[in-house]
């Protein structure tokens, strides 16, 4: 990885994690939970959301995490549905961001022939890759990732308690997946699917 790529990745990562966590907090807030607001997380300021290790993982492997937004499901009218919507909000925001950057690729082609345009082109591609990678990683259904909250909300209520027991082992399983490279294999089909999805979104 070149120095230029690293320099371009930093603002792309800061944007992706800020959008992701802001969306979690905003969804929870809209559903009645003021916790994120009280903790100053309803902002796109990356300093409010940055997790140094998660950001480093994004730089090195293009998947990682931010500082989790605290959520109190007791504020929700429907706790299971509320947690599922909060969990979905972050990855969805990243997919939408990737879609917007993909549109920029289509409307700014005349600039890409210039030297600064080549840098801009690379920056846009990095934003697409990072947003899709962050969304895909968080959609893996292993606690504490967002995918586990989505799955928990979709499961019949009688299985919820059993699934919640996995939270005890989730972080350990996640570390094993990261260090063995299995996380990348799990993410690959998700990234491919999301990439195809944004390619068929309306392009204006």
The whole-number pLDDT of residue 155 equals 86
As annotated, the active-site residues are: 21
Residue 170, pLDDT > 80, answer yes
Q: What is the mean pLDDT of residues 112-128?
A: 79
Per-residue pLDDT of 49-93, as tens digits, reads 888 887 777 667 666 677 889 999 999 999 999 999 999 999 999
Distance separating alpha carbons of residues 124 and 189, to the nearest angstrom: 22
Per-residue pLDDT of 130-143, as tens digits, reads 999 999 999 999 88
Domain membership of residue 44 as a residue range: 3-200
- Classified as helix, coil or strand, 153 is helix
Strand ranges for the chain from DSSP E: none
The whole-number pLDDT of residue 45 equals 92
- Classified as helix, coil or strand, 82 is helix
The whole-number pLDDT of residue 121 equals 84
Residue 112, pLDDT > 70, answer no
10 Å CB burial of residue 139 (0-12, 13-18, 19+) is buried
Most confident of 1-5, 157-161, 195-199: 195-199
Total tally of structural domains belonging to the chain: 1
């Amino acid at each position: 990885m070149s120095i230029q790529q690293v320099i371009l990745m930093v603002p792309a990562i800061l944007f992706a994690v800020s959008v992701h966590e802001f969306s979690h907090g905003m969804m929870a807030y809209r559903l009645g939970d003021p916790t994120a607001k009280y903790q100053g997380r309803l902002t796109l300021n990356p300093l409010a959301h940055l997790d140094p290790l998660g950001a480093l993982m994004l730089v090195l492997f293009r998947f990682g995490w931010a500082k989790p937004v605290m959520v109190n499901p007791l504020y929700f009218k429907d706790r299971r549905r509320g947690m599922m919507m909060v969990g979905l909000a972050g990855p969805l925001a990243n997919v939408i961001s990737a879609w917007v950057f993909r549109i920029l690729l289509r409307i700014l082609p005349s600039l890409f022939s210039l030297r600064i345009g080549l840098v801009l082109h690379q920056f846009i591609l990095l934003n697409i890759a990072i947003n899709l990678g962050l969304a895909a990683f968080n959609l893996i259904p292993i606690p504490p990732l967002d995918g586990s909250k989505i799955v928990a909300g979709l499961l019949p209520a009688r299985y919820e308690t059993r699934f919640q027991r996995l939270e005890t082992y989730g972080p350990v399983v996640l570390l094993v997946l990261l260090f063995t490279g299995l996380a990348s294999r799990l993410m690959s089909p998700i990234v491919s699917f999301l990439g195809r999805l944004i390619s068929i979104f309306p392009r204006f």
